[in-house]
Structure 1
């Protein structure tokens, strides 16, 4: 009975091994099928071609958008209105502030020039302050005229 038991056990092992073999073979076949379908799917969509298409599409969209912005009168009017309403107050404030400061600095410079020796005044103005030369010369002439 021990020989029969050994044959039965070996037979069961063989049956189990054959079943496991077929299960593994079916899993390997399924994996091969999945890989093949993935490969064919990837072959359909060549990544470089898709990237090129996306880049071309983005460029076209940007070109269309820039044309729309440049050709759209309503957009031009709106941007012009915004520029005028936002920059003009800033420009006016800047002009007023800079003008006040400029006059103040010119007064200080004119006082410094007045305290220079008369023969060095014109040379100082020409050498150091060429952009304000005319204004300072006029102020100097006024000072000389009004001098007691």
Structure 2
């Protein structure tokens, strides 16, 4: 675990380098059409990353950011009004049924979907408007 933590800065640098063009395009799109709010969607350790993202987004950008409860759409089949929001989905596998259900409902409701996913050919990657591959290696 210590070794993995020590490798983190190099991994993040490599991610930024390999995703630079995609990140610039995403930033341009978001400047042209700013979201009214951000909704994060993640499970487990990815949800911890989403919580950190929430603090960055709210303190740096002043955008209201909330965490989605995937069971709202996957179990209760409710569809919150997400028109004009950015849904930031973080997943290692990109295949969790509850995340996919939430993303499908969000997309149908008019949200822009940005996926940070390790599995670039996953169902989640296919649903996303914008994909940021994590390229973190095999879990």
Higher strand share: 2
Larger Rg: 1
- Judging by fraction of residues, say which structure has more helix: 1
**Does TM, normalized by the shorter one, top 0.5?**
no
Shorter-chain TM-score bucket reads under 0.3
TM-score (norm 1): 0.19
TM-score (norm 2): 0.20
